[in-house]
Amino acid sequence: MVTMKTYLATFCKRLTPGRAAGGVRFDGPLSPNPTDTHQGEPMSDIRIKKLEERFVRYCTVDTQSDASSTATPSTACQLELSRMMVEELQAVGIDDAYLTDYGVVFGTVKGNITDRMVPTIAFVAHVDTAPSFHAEGVKPIVHHAWNGRAMVLPDDPAVVIDPDENPHLRDKKGEDIVTASGTTLLGADDKAGIAIIMGLIDHLNAHPEIPRGDIRICFTPDEEIGKGVSDALMADIHADFAYTLDGENPGDLVAETFSADKAEITIKGVSIHTCCAKDRLVNALYLASKIIEVLPKHRLSPESTEGRQGFIFVEGISGNAAEATLRLNLRDFELDGLKAQATLLQETCALVAKTEPRARITCTVRPEYRNMRYWLEDDMRPVEMAKKAYIDEGFIPHMLAFRGGTDGSIMTEKGIPTPNIFCGMQNPHGPMEWVSLQDMEKALLICARVVGYWGAAA
């Protein structure tokens, strides 16, 4: 029987000198362990090449989700990658891989511990890309051994990824950087997470000595529109704990996210031909713009806030002079802040309505997800296991209060504690998105340690 003490003695090494998370440098003495399965440049090269091959291939598949759709998943194109993932899981030995009728891919890496009960953990990533920017016809570019200079993207030379404007990129000279071509997003959010999980399976297959219980694999649709986690998924995942691979900087460990509500404002004006509109037309679009203008964007918008400050984000506007709809995202780390935002929105609508009594303005607010901290505080075991893995892989964990949400936010609320491990993506949801393959490898090795620590600690 493998004990925690034995496993840690075999697999833990001292922190390697270098730059850790958040710019903190940890200079510790080197103590290479000849039995450490994570060492050896050739093995690293193999992992990097496989991560590149998979990731680039996944990015070329259009998987953009659609918040306005009532289908499950919201777009049929997501299923192309999901079906591909079932085939690839089966090819690496996951015989039970399958695609559900609600668009989720499941599979199991079988455990190797038979003499005691071991928690089942899951690794989760999402197949969809954000609907906020172009995602069709993605052409990934791999900048091998990046030379440290600004990257001008060929399909739109006005799009330049400059290390002077991307602090994390400054440390990446010599690494393999993947970008899009300038006219689309890349899709590292979250296809980097999918590639990392597939690499983890390779690693576990190559190292049967790593003690483990069953490991569940889960690829979800529609995370970007808040519909990735359903009650059906929670019933089918069969896991005690989980980890999403869906974050930015190496070293970031997320056990706290925004709480989120979604608001929809409908403005009904008075429609009439412009030839006789004098004193009769009530333009819904004009009133919609008034509502946007009245909101305190100087202190309560994404572009004017940071850290633990919440915001109201005007996500979209649609309609015409007769009827218009505003879609807004409300975000705050605390429920009181979220409630205050909803009240402000209602008061703003009422104020604008008073300026034009003939219009009808309605505002509805519905819950989207909640801060995972509320539940993780009751069971920090998955967070502590991840912290240990970060440290033993050379990072000082940066406990990030994430200004967003993940599938893990909803999974945690529904009963499976699910913190988030970084996948290395940078500048997501736009044409300047990029990721380092070396950062992806670091996440892969952290996940491998997490698997072993759960198995040894049982």
| CATH number for the domain that contains residue 213 | 3.40.630.10
- Is residue 201 domain-shared with residue 220, that is, in the same domain? yes
Residue 6 domain-assigned (yes or no): no
Q: Is the predicted pLDDT of residue 217 greater than 50, yes or no?
A: yes
Between 31 and 63, the higher pLDDT residue: 63
- Mean pLDDT (the chain) is 91
Residue finishing a domain among 342, 369, 396: 369
- Is residue 365 domain-shared with residue 377, that is, in the same domain? no
Out of 52, 128, 256, 368, pick the active-site residue.
Answer: 128
- Is residue 106 domain-shared with residue 192, that is, in the same domain? yes
Residue 413 domain-assigned (yes or no): yes
* The two three-digit tokens of residue 166, written as one number: 């991307």
Residue finishing a domain among 369, 392, 412: 369
Q: Is the predicted pLDDT of residue 39 greater than 70, yes or no?
A: no
In 271-344, beta strands by DSSP E: 311-319, 323-332
Residue 229 is predicted with a pLDDT of: 96
- Is residue 144 domain-shared with residue 217, that is, in the same domain? yes
Those residues whose C-beta lies under 8 Å from the C-beta of residue 211, and which sit 6 or more positions away, are 2, 7, 112, 113, 452, 455, 456
Q: Is the predicted pLDDT of residue 2 greater than 60, yes or no?
A: no
Between 22 and 226, the higher pLDDT residue: 226
- Is residue 392 domain-shared with residue 329, that is, in the same domain? no
- Is residue 189 domain-shared with residue 324, that is, in the same domain? no
How distant, in Å, are the alpha carbons of 6, 273, 326, 345, 360 from that of 269?
72, 13, 14, 19, 7
Largest CA distance in the chain: 87
Identify whether 128 is a catalytic site residue: yes
Residue 32 domain-assigned (yes or no): no
Residue finishing a domain among 339, 369, 399: 369
- Is residue 245 domain-shared with residue 156, that is, in the same domain? yes
- Is residue 352 domain-shared with residue 392, that is, in the same domain? no
Q: Is the predicted pLDDT of residue 4 greater than 50, yes or no?
A: no
Q: Are 129 and 65 in contact (CB under 8 A)?
A: yes
Q: Are 176 and 436 in contact (CB under 8 A)?
A: yes
Measured distance CA(288)–CA(294) in Å, rounded: 10
Measured distance CA(343)–CA(99) in Å, rounded: 42
Q: 358: domain range?
A: 259-369
- Is residue 237 domain-shared with residue 300, that is, in the same domain? no
Q: Are 395 and 251 in contact (CB under 8 A)?
A: yes
Residue 317 domain-assigned (yes or no): yes
Residue 388 domain-assigned (yes or no): yes
Percent of the chain with pLDDT over 90: 88
In this prediction, residues 314-320 reach a mean pLDDT of: 95
Out of 62, 190, 222, 223, pick the active-site residue.
Answer: 223
Q: Is the predicted pLDDT of residue 425 greater than 50, yes or no?
A: yes
- Is residue 380 domain-shared with residue 356, that is, in the same domain? no
Those residues whose C-beta lies under 8 Å from the C-beta of residue 378, and which sit 6 or more positions away, are none
Q: Is the predicted pLDDT of residue 156 greater than 90, yes or no?
A: yes
Residue 457 is predicted with a pLDDT of: 86
Q: Identify the band that residue 423 occupies on the pLDDT scale cut at 50, 70 and 90.
A: very high
Q: Are 296 and 313 in contact (CB under 8 A)?
A: no
Question: How many structural domains is the chain composed of?
Answer: 2
pTM above threshold 0.85: yes
Residue 7 domain-assigned (yes or no): no
Measured distance CA(194)–CA(377) in Å, rounded: 28
Domain with 342 in it: what CATH number? 3.30.70.360
Residue 384 is predicted with a pLDDT of: 96
Percent of the chain with pLDDT over 70: 91
Residue 31 is predicted with a pLDDT of: 29
Residue 16 domain-assigned (yes or no): no
Identify whether 155 is a catalytic site residue: no
- Is residue 327 domain-shared with residue 393, that is, in the same domain? no
Q: Is the predicted pLDDT of residue 358 greater than 90, yes or no?
A: yes
Q: Is the predicted pLDDT of residue 254 greater than 90, yes or no?
A: yes
In this prediction, residues 91-103 reach a mean pLDDT of: 98
In this prediction, residues 282-300 reach a mean pLDDT of: 96
- Is residue 311 domain-shared with residue 253, that is, in the same domain? no
Q: Is the predicted pLDDT of residue 374 greater than 70, yes or no?
A: yes
Q: Is the predicted pLDDT of residue 437 greater than 70, yes or no?
A: yes
Burial class for 231, CB neighbours closer than 10 Å (0-12, 13-18, 19+) = exposed
What letter would DSSP give residue 32?
Answer: -
Q: Is the predicted pLDDT of residue 247 greater than 80, yes or no?
A: yes
Residue 458 is predicted with a pLDDT of: 67
Residue 28 domain-assigned (yes or no): no
